[in-house]
A = this chain, B = another copy of it.
């Protein structure tokens, strides 16, 4: 027996979650009806209630997933980054990569007010912990000289804002490939906080590596770039997809 029954259940459950996450991201939680989610999956509304007890738990599961990805990314970045700045940028990079891969979209961090009080409290606790950790990366970076002196709270807000805005304009099926988005965002964040910002950035996201070597290796991100141009790599790759990356 290849897939046991519980396996199938788990897989379908994840499929429901992905569809819900995509819809919540696209139209918003309250504007998405259970009927719509079900119809997108080719089932009826009642079927969804075999996998989630109610609509709100679906939203809570989205947030859970996102926060898990966030902390996993941070752990990985903590090990691999060699200073505060690298850890900060890598965290964001791994995070967006993971969310784009696992859910078909990326972030969901809006709509937190739609959660039940207990779920909301849990999310707030986790998110605060995450943001505090990001801020400490900044402080760490200021101390080790990799980050420019700045207000850590504000810097983190600006970066998170740019992150959470991504779903509004980026579609994995668009002209920019996920890896390019990722590299470009990292370059931006890098420049925002670096004590020695790069003197030039990719003048076209299409010029950034689409999937070169080990995903998101430090070198491919152009970290430690300083004066050297990082553009002109992988020129003219992946320009075929025409489905608009925007609207």
- Interface residues, chain A, CB within 8 Å of chain B? 26-31, 110-111, 113-114, 124, 142, 148-151, 153-155, 157-166, 168-169, 184-185, 188, 191-192, 195, 197-205, 247
Contact = CB atoms under 8 A, between A and B. Distances in A.
Given A157-B165, A158-B162, A191-B192, A200 B114 contact: no
Contacts of A203: 142, 149-151
Nearest to A157: B169
Nearest to A195: B199
Contact of A154 (B27, B113, B168, B188): B188
A194 to B, nearest CB: 9
Q: How many copies does the complex hold?
A: 2
B114 A155 contact: no
A111 to B, nearest CB: 7
A114 B166 contact: no
A244 to B, nearest CB: 12
B165 A201 contact: no
A28 B188 contact: no
Contact of A28 (B111, B151, B185): B111
A134 to B, nearest CB: 13
Q: Which of A158, A191, A199 has the most chain B CB atoms closer than 10 A to its own CB?
A: A158
Contacts of A165: 157-158, 160-162, 164-165
Nearest to A192: B192
B247 A124 contact: yes
Q: Which of A165, A192, A199 has the most chain B CB atoms closer than 10 A to its own CB?
A: A165
Given A27-B113, A113-B26, A162-B158, A149 B192 contact: no
A209 to B, nearest CB: 14
Given A31-B113, A110-B110, A157-B162, 13 more contacts: A28-B113, A29-B30, A31-B114, A148-B201, A149-B200, A150-B200, A151-B204, A154-B188, A157-B169, A158-B165, A161-B168, A164-B165, A188-B192
A9 to B, nearest CB: 31
Contacts of A26: 113
A184 to B, nearest CB: 5
Contacts of A195: 199
A44 B205 CA distance: 52
Contacts of A191: 148, 191-192, 197
B184 A154 contact: yes
